[in-house]
Chains A and B, each alone.
Chain A
């Protein structure tokens, strides 16, 4: 890190030295980097899971056809690694309070479910994720998993999980079973994984798969489509599948806390669930069960034909085998005994085993039984059939064969169906009518099917006995109605005189059960409720006596097994808190969002064909005749196909299914499915909004069939098709049949320049041209047609790009708007109807149609704007004023990128830098107040030591280890020369491994480190940091890329991949042994800027820097400031008389501010005559008109020398005073007007035939409208090639047409002619629509002369050693991403010297240039060195080869150095500006130059070892 300085501005504690940037696209990243480098802490907020924005989606960028990812990727990495940029992904801004300098921003951090600080991006989670959804990064042309990385190069380099919320099935389940999860896994055919996820929440899946009341199905969203998913059956399917195999052994749990044993009373589902949880936490558990079998009511209260005993036994055994001490036949009669025996806590989990008899006469007669006892005896096989048809109990009296069951619940049905299977004739009687019976409808039906008679609406008055006190019938009355009062007492209205007798010889009461609590002594200190259940705190399950807990039926009365499981989990959790001495009462867990699909969403999915109606797959069932004579299971199960078909019906409501597979797959425990949304407040001094755009949703323009016709795609989709990393690996294919298209049509202005969009999206003409060119490059012979209104090739290099596309690539352009597309249903070809320039209608057939969709502002961004209280236009764009173009209506909040106006990448980048400059100007006193620099231990000097190399070979989970033998690689490495230590790591980049490397450096006294893992492009800085933390110089590190360039690309051949990995490691070790420490030096910085040019750009830059306290030398050749602004009399943005928009007033204000600013040294009538030095330390000599010279030292230079209006002889200019330029005409308009009735304007004059001067169309329309405002009757005809009113300038075009301005299109072969006849000016031109020649005699001819560079620009460029382009404009370092920088560090450009631009554009670029310069000026010193070229003067002949070859103008021949043989003059490289590319090294004929860290011997050793396995060994000996 270089040292920092406080600028001359005084510190101001009220200002916060941090800025929030909202939106991580290219503009947001640029703003963040420029702010962080200017000494501000940056919070970069991004809604998605990674930054990069739309640019990351692009294949190439125009006009250079650079790979978009290749150019953005270094920016991504830089942003991601900057110590003072904190990236907040999955985050949304809620609101902003306070004012500029001290804002408080409330943000919502949405859960990502993967901790980015732990995730090492191995992708193992995605590999096991069963959820498949459309990949939005590929514009839904391919699919991805719910666990995903947005794109391969994403920053943060971490995965995320897309989860919309919890599925309603999980929400409805008392135990919160992740039903969607196991359904997804069943669909994937992963039965074992499915059982695993079920068992996470429920130890009894086989049981619940049979007898659960499945509230999940009631809640299932699928019921809105047809029928709910048969979730219970799917659960059962999984257990059937797994349980058909022998039970695998269960590993005993290690008991970590033997001193705190827990007693559980009752081995039912609740007790056993708790036992499982508690023992898994490491506490010993003893379960006391009164009965001879475990399982509780499941085993003894549910008939075998519904729940086979073997299922229960298997699931119970899985718990007991964990090490639970199960004591059968062990009723507990006293709690004190348990505590006396040393148990630290007791859980009462007894079931509702006690049946209830109604207190009616005859209830104690022989032959009156109770449900629970009856069912239990049957399950314990304690019956035998008598010869008279009666049933004998081993220790009781016989009963039957005519059984009447009293009660109408599920248990009553179980009792009745059990009796049927014993051979009895069975009836039931109950209070309720058929519909109100508490039993489930399907249970009742099963009973009826089995021949059971049900008497509804009956009271039970008395049980009648025969003289032997044996039951002979039940006296009933009919019920008219009944209700329960507040105390639960029953009130029945009976039908008078309805007494009747139902004959029977056995009565079984089945009217309810309760817990058997008789064992609890009165003085045990455990309170009971009025309903004879144990009183507990419902939050903690704690009874009134400390250490005693109760759960399950003993506290809730009877309930379903799944509720018992739930309460078992909760009681166990509470008991664990108790044992650990923690508070039992816990704050409530955050509410999780339940996904309830709306009707609309479901309809939409049906419409898109993602969903078709299909009823649930039926479960097979045993026939009635087969089943009533035995206890075999009635219900059958699904087979594999049926189960997978049923699972496929799941709507995947939550997106992530919570199947937990990723949790098990993740080797670094980065995943947490319980993360929830949280609110945070962040203090910042300013906010920059860079939220970007969304593409127009083309399905809204129904006439083009997007969304209906498969082969109509959006331009962004086409971009993904072209991309090598896209869904088709860069092969352009039709979505309908994956065939290469032969004829493609692009339709322009979809969602731009139409009835709903009064603006131009500014980029579509160029991106369509680019996509056409790239498609033709991919597939020569492809026929591409672009249907457009105007070709808006309006910026630097655009026009020649368009010409190249048309002439060299043969892209065909048509001036025609397509009105309608039809699909040929047989071929999926598309038929386009259009009308050409001459009004002729035609229909053409295409294989593929690409819609050039425009830019829109999304609803979420509009909503953000409203929440922040900033003014937006009707489309949601954030308009700003022309002279403060980046600030919103709320001071301190800035807007950049397409959020202001549709724009391209370089302009967005300029916006980003500009806003960083504007914010820095506001906050400069707080600079460096919140930034941090890393601190390291002292560096060890290893020079002269024998190399001791440590090699760390990474498995990367299975990414490397799964495809090659990492231990063999490590073992091989350990035998290589100089290697002192070699080892394997599961994940070398995980936080603990990073620490481990540093430890190993000390342990083995390593002085070089090699990591064999993934790619140095993402991971080298991380490992170098680790090495530095261990006290080694970071240059003593080398990587071997055995993942991206080995295991992944040779994944089919393990031995070959292993061999290659060994080769790569050997090469890395060979180089590592020769590596040397590289040291950086601090170079002091001059805190002054030189700005050349006193126009609006120069003045803006000057003020931006001076307001931060930097000294500024503003040099202007003329005697006055203002430049071209002096020629502007009205702004295109408005000429309504608003003084804020009066150019003259604004110019005066600017000049005043310049003159009053004490930091600005104004040098009028002065020129720079010499410039030398380098970034941070330039020296310039100024010469005033009077010849006086001064020498300046400055750290940065901004060239803002502007441009001039071309004045050539075209169209007779200069021969007739009625032929004017636009600038002259504009000046005329500001004065009292002579009566002008008729004007002809001609666009694209002179040099503008070869390049577009960008601003002329806008200026012409502005002037035309002004004339129309002055004289509405004036006739104005504009001859044009294309009207290039990009962005909101389109509104001028619309207004001009509305005001009656006439437009006549011309082509190069039909240019208008200007002559004079009889003293009149005559303009002749071809009118293509009318098909005739026009002849006009206007009062004035106004020529749109382009802006061209100043005549002295080349001289200036030579002096500052900066390049110009073919037209003489300054040539930026990179057209897309460095639009204000020169390739030489420390020199920047602004305004029309770069390219013609409008005033607001020049101002933004000037602010950007100031920000770029401030990055240098704000530092006390700059760090230089490391990977730089160094000259050995003794070998230098001063031949100038390096001087010529260096792209950055670094080498100089210094006379004070002596070269080879002592000759005077040798090359010198200033380390502060050397970029380390090595070009000079390879060109130097004397081999006098070495590139540090890439020296000849290092490189040659590497190459030699790479190819030659024995070389290293030989050298060692």
Chain B
């Protein structure tokens, strides 16, 4: 993946965020483009947040929970 890309990953703190932490614990390597934003629940995701990320220049948005 191109290093200059920016992907915002909205993650639920209970599962996907913990999984991202575990990936670190296991020293799995992934592209630095991925930046995780923790949410209390993926239910908190709304269109505004998704679009805002694109508006700010994100190349991709991921929701995991």
Contact of B57 among A1016, A1059, A1479, A1508 (CB under 8 A): A1508
Complex Cα distance, B22 from A67, in Å, reads 13
The answer on a CB contact under 8 Å between A1482 and B57 is no
The answer on a CB contact under 8 Å between A725 and B26 is yes
Closest to B28 in A: A1049
CB distance from B54 to the nearest CB of A (A): 10
The answer on a CB contact under 8 Å between A1507 and B41 is no
The answer on a CB contact under 8 Å between B13 and A1017 is yes
The answer on a CB contact under 8 Å between A729 and B32 is no
Is A981's CB within 8 Å of the partner chain B? no
In the complex where A1017-B13, A1049-B28 touch, is A1478 in contact with B40 (Cβ < 8 A)?
yes
CB distance from A561 to the nearest CB of B (A): 46
* Residues on the B chain within 8 Å of A1057, using CB: 32
Instruction: Please count how many residues in chain A sit with their CB below 8 Å of the partner chain's CB atoms.
Output: 52
Complex Cα distance, B58 from A1063, in Å, reads 13
The answer on a CB contact under 8 Å between B21 and A1015 is yes
Flag A1064-1084 by CB within 8 Å of B: 1 or 0 each.
Answer: 100100000000000000000
Contact of A1016 among B3, B19, B32, B38 (CB under 8 A): B38
Flag B21-65 by CB within 8 Å of A: 1 or 0 each.
Answer: 111111111101001111111011110110011001110000000
* Residues on the B chain within 8 Å of A1059, using CB: 32
CB distance from B17 to the nearest CB of A (A): 7
Query: Of A277-285, A998-1006, A1493-1501, which binds chain B?
Result: A1493-1501
CB distance from A1501 to the nearest CB of B (A): 10
Query: Of A803-811, A1040-1048, A1300-1308, A1325-1333, which binds chain B?
Result: A1040-1048
Is A1504's CB within 8 Å of the partner chain B? yes
Instruction: Give the residues from 1 to 25 in chain B that come closer than 8 angstroms, CB to CB, to chain A.
Output: 3, 6, 8, 13-15, 17-25
Contact of A1500 among B45, B52, B57 (CB under 8 A): B52
The answer on a CB contact under 8 Å between B40 and A1503 is no
Instruction: Give the residues from 1272 to 1304 in chain A that come closer than 8 angstroms, CB to CB, to chain B.
Output: none
* Residues on the A chain within 8 Å of B46, using CB: 1481-1483
In the complex where A1050-B29, A1052-B29, A1503-B56 touch, is A1476 in contact with B35 (Cβ < 8 A)?
no
Closest to A1496 in B: B48
* Residues on the A chain within 8 Å of B58, using CB: 1503, 1507
In the complex where A74-B14, A1476-B40 touch, is A1044 in contact with B3 (Cβ < 8 A)?
no
Is A73's CB within 8 Å of the partner chain B? yes
The answer on a CB contact under 8 Å between A1494 and B44 is yes
Closest to A1057 in B: B32
Closest to A1500 in B: B52
The answer on a CB contact under 8 Å between A1503 and B43 is no
The answer on a CB contact under 8 Å between B15 and A1507 is no
Instruction: Give the residues from 496 to 530 in chain A that come closer than 8 angstroms, CB to CB, to chain B.
Output: none
* Residues on the B chain within 8 Å of A1476, using CB: 40
The answer on a CB contact under 8 Å between B35 and A1506 is yes
Complex Cα distance, B29 from A1044, in Å, reads 11
* Residues on the A chain within 8 Å of B37, using CB: 1067, 1499, 1502-1503, 1506
* Residues on the B chain within 8 Å of A86, using CB: none
The answer on a CB contact under 8 Å between A1482 and B22 is no
In the complex where A1050-B32, A1478-B44 touch, is A725 in contact with B56 (Cβ < 8 A)?
no
In the complex where A1477-B41, A1479-B44 touch, is A1048 in contact with B25 (Cβ < 8 A)?
yes
The answer on a CB contact under 8 Å between A1478 and B56 is no
Closest to A74 in B: B14
Closest to A149 in B: B25
The answer on a CB contact under 8 Å between A1503 and B39 is no
The answer on a CB contact under 8 Å between A1063 and B35 is yes
Is A1056's CB within 8 Å of the partner chain B? yes
Instruction: Give the residues from 387 to 409 in chain A that come closer than 8 angstroms, CB to CB, to chain B.
Output: none
The answer on a CB contact under 8 Å between A1060 and B56 is no
The answer on a CB contact under 8 Å between B36 and A1049 is no
The answer on a CB contact under 8 Å between A1494 and B40 is yes
The answer on a CB contact under 8 Å between A1060 and B38 is no
* Residues on the B chain within 8 Å of A1479, using CB: 41, 43-44
CB distance from A383 to the nearest CB of B (A): 65
Flag A150-176 by CB within 8 Å of B: 1 or 0 each.
Answer: 001100000000000000000000000
CB distance from B47 to the nearest CB of A (A): 8
CB distance from B55 to the nearest CB of A (A): 9
Contact of B44 among A1015, A1063, A1447, A1491 (CB under 8 A): A1491
Closest to A1505 in B: B56
The answer on a CB contact under 8 Å between B18 and A1017 is yes
Complex Cα distance, B40 from A673, in Å, reads 42
Complex Cα distance, B23 from A1499, in Å, reads 24
* Residues on the A chain within 8 Å of B38, using CB: 1016
CB distance from A1012 to the nearest CB of B (A): 14
Is A222's CB within 8 Å of the partner chain B? no
Is A623's CB within 8 Å of the partner chain B? no
The answer on a CB contact under 8 Å between A1507 and B24 is no
* Residues on the A chain within 8 Å of B39, using CB: 1478, 1494
Among the interface residues A1015, A1050, A1053, A1502, which one has the most CB atoms of the partner chain B within 10 A?
A: A1015
Complex Cα distance, B6 from A951, in Å, reads 24
The answer on a CB contact under 8 Å between A1044 and B40 is no
Is A70's CB within 8 Å of the partner chain B? yes
Instruction: Give the residues from 232 to 285 in chain A that come closer than 8 angstroms, CB to CB, to chain B.
Output: none
CB distance from A547 to the nearest CB of B (A): 57
CB distance from B19 to the nearest CB of A (A): 8
* Residues on the A chain within 8 Å of B32, using CB: 1050, 1053, 1056-1057, 1059-1060
The answer on a CB contact under 8 Å between B43 and A1477 is yes
Complex Cα distance, B53 from A1504, in Å, reads 7
Is A1427's CB within 8 Å of the partner chain B? yes
CB distance from A1007 to the nearest CB of B (A): 23
The answer on a CB contact under 8 Å between A725 and B25 is yes
The answer on a CB contact under 8 Å between B43 and A1017 is no
Among the interface residues A1059, A1064, A1503, A1506, which one has the most CB atoms of the partner chain B within 10 A?
A: A1503
Closest to B29 in A: A1049
The answer on a CB contact under 8 Å between A1044 and B20 is yes
Flag A60-92 by CB within 8 Å of B: 1 or 0 each.
Answer: 000000010110011000000000000000000
In the complex where A1049-B29, A1481-B46, A1507-B57 touch, is A1427 in contact with B22 (Cβ < 8 A)?
no
Is A724's CB within 8 Å of the partner chain B? yes
Is A1051's CB within 8 Å of the partner chain B? yes
* Residues on the B chain within 8 Å of A1052, using CB: 29
Among the interface residues B20, B21, B29, B57, which one has the most CB atoms of the partner chain A within 10 A?
A: B21
The answer on a CB contact under 8 Å between A1427 and B8 is no
Complex Cα distance, B23 from A152, in Å, reads 11
Complex Cα distance, B49 from A1499, in Å, reads 8
The answer on a CB contact under 8 Å between B21 and A1503 is no
CB distance from A133 to the nearest CB of B (A): 20
The answer on a CB contact under 8 Å between A1503 and B15 is no
Instruction: Give the residues from 1423 to 1451 in chain A that come closer than 8 angstroms, CB to CB, to chain B.
Output: 1427, 1445, 1447
Complex Cα distance, B24 from A1479, in Å, reads 29
Complex Cα distance, B27 from A1044, in Å, reads 8
Closest to A1050 in B: B32
Of the A-B pairs whose beta carbons lie under 8 Å apart in the complex, a sample of 30, sorted by A's number, is A70-B15, A70-B19, A74-B14, A152-B25, A725-B22, A1016-B38, A1044-B23, A1049-B30, A1050-B29, A1052-B29, A1056-B3, A1057-B32, A1060-B35, A1063-B35, A1064-B35, A1067-B37, A1478-B40, A1479-B41, A1491-B44, A1494-B40, A1496-B48, A1499-B37, A1503-B8, A1503-B58, A1504-B56, A1506-B8, A1506-B35, A1507-B35, A1507-B58, A1508-B57
Interface residues in chain A, defined as those with a beta carbon under 8 Å from any beta carbon in chain B: 67, 69-70, 73-74, 152-153, 724-725, 729, 1015-1017, 1041, 1043-1045, 1048-1053, 1056-1057, 1059-1060, 1063-1064, 1067, 1427, 1445, 1447, 1476-1479, 1481-1483, 1491, 1494, 1496, 1499-1500, 1502-1504, 1506-1508, 1511
15 other contacts beyond A1017-B13, A1049-B27, A1503-B52, with CB at 8 A cut-off? A74-B14, A725-B22, A1016-B13, A1017-B21, A1043-B24, A1045-B21, A1056-B3, A1059-B32, A1060-B32, A1067-B37, A1477-B40, A1478-B41, A1481-B44, A1503-B56, A1507-B58
